[in-house]
Structure 1
Amino acid sequence: MAVVVRAGAAPLWWCGVFAAGIGAAGPGVTGRRIGMLAGAALFLVGAAVVALTRRRRYTALAEGASRAGKHDLLQDRAVTVRNWRRGHRWWLLFAFAVALGSSFVVPAAGGMLLAGTGTGLWLKAAWLGRRERAGEQLLRLRVDWLDRRGGSPAGKAAKGYRGTGIAAGDAAPGGTRRRTAALV
């Protein structure tokens, strides 16, 4: 479940960094200094808003998590990330274009807002990872409750989470890739 939250973090972050870098090259209408200050404020606000929204819904679903049965369809981390990114690629491209276009008015501000939303998703995934470690179970969402585009792990279609052991699958708590020890 944290994998779905974390899937959008890297593309949003990198699109935002590239848009802010390109936008900072020109003076824009407001000037580079005002654009960078506004961008820094938007980065902080965007990260805070994304990291703090829907926490009650996540908490309620996590507290009601049941043990995953043998007939529950759960998918690997790599498949979840790939499906989310494929389903949202046009939204990511549109967000990058808007952030880049806004740099002609306020340099780097749109890109920094986009990077802030990616940072907020990383913070939310880290918060979910701490909850998973404390509960000693990975929270998962059944595949049929996510649509093909990745969906929202706290949306209306999510009726509840399923819990598996902390060592199950290829994801670590928080949605990161599980590191396997090298065989000696």
Structure 2
Amino acid sequence: MARGGQGLARVAVVVRAGAAPMWWLGVAAAGIGVAVPGITGRRIGVLAGAALFILVMVAVALPRRKRYATLARGAARAGRNDVLQDRAVTARNWRRGHRWWLALAFLAALGSALAVPAAGGMVLAGAGAGLWLKAAWLGRRERAVEELLWVRVDWLDRRGGNPAGKPVRAYRSTGIAAGDATPGGRRRKPAAALV
């Protein structure tokens, strides 16, 4: 790393990193869970799971918005020597750090199907959907001010961390075209080749 620079990870990418694994593990667990009659029966399990999906999605998507907004308002411009972490590296670090938690959540969702079919998987999928919604909200903020938000990598813990957690004291910002992810943390599509 260049002298005086910091490693920076995209805030929206850190938020979004868990969305896909939680969603797909939840969908898989719910699909397998539907095959088990369970104690409550399939119909009640699916209806309970749908209600829990919505509750968990909202519970994941809405909290800490005030903290994100406060950190975003105080964001300082990234320095010339700061190193912008690739989207794939940020996502991989988060997923590696949380792999055991994801595995346990998947097993718990499968196990819960013995009592309430599909509900546990729908809870896990709801958490993934909530993270997508939170990343999309961050993306709208980034587009509105035409700045991308970054967090120092050393303020995230070894598992990839929470980009709005206590150790995070401020964000850095760059122009909208910096890095390899769009506002909201999606992969930036390569520009079409000129003929």
> Shared topology, TM-score over 0.5?
yes
Q: Root-mean-square deviation (CA), in Å? A: 0.8
Contact 1:4/1:81, CA 8 A, preserved across alignment: yes
How many residues align? The count is 184
Kept in 2: contact 1:72–1:142 (CA 8 A): no
| SS of equivalent to 2:84 | coil
Give the TM-score taking structure 1 as reference length: 0.98
Q: Which structure dedicates a bigger proportion of its chain to strand?
A: 2
Identity value in percent? 73
Q: What corresponds to 2:5 in structure 1?
A: none
Most deviating of 73-82 and 87-96: 73-82
Residue deviations 1:118-154 (CA, integer Å, cap 9, x gap):
0000000000000000010100011111122100000
Q: 1:82 and 2:87 equivalent?
A: no
Match of 1:96 among 98, 106, 123: 106
Q: Which runs of 5+ in 1 are unaligned?
A: none
Equivalent pair of 1:138/1:164 in contact (CA under 8 Å): yes
Which residue, out of 25, 28, 34, partners 2:38? 28
Do residues 68 (structure 1) and 41 (structure 2) align? no
* Structure 1 residue 180, shift from structure 2 partner: 1.4
Instruction: Give CA deviations for 1:69-117 in whole Å, capped at 9, x if unaligned.
Output: 1233431111100100000000000000000000000000000000000
Alignment of 1:36-55 (within 5 A): 36-55=46-65
Unaligned runs of 5+ in 2: 1-10
Separation in 1 of the partners of 2:91 and 2:38?
36
Q: Give structure 1 regions of 4+ aligned residues with deviation exceeding 6 angstroms.
A: none
Cα separation, 1, equivalents of 2:23 and 2:68: 23
Partner Cα separation in structure 1 for residue 73 and residue 63 of structure 2:
17
Amino acid aligned to 1:52: L
Q: Is structure 2 residue 141 aligned with structure 1 residue 131?
A: yes
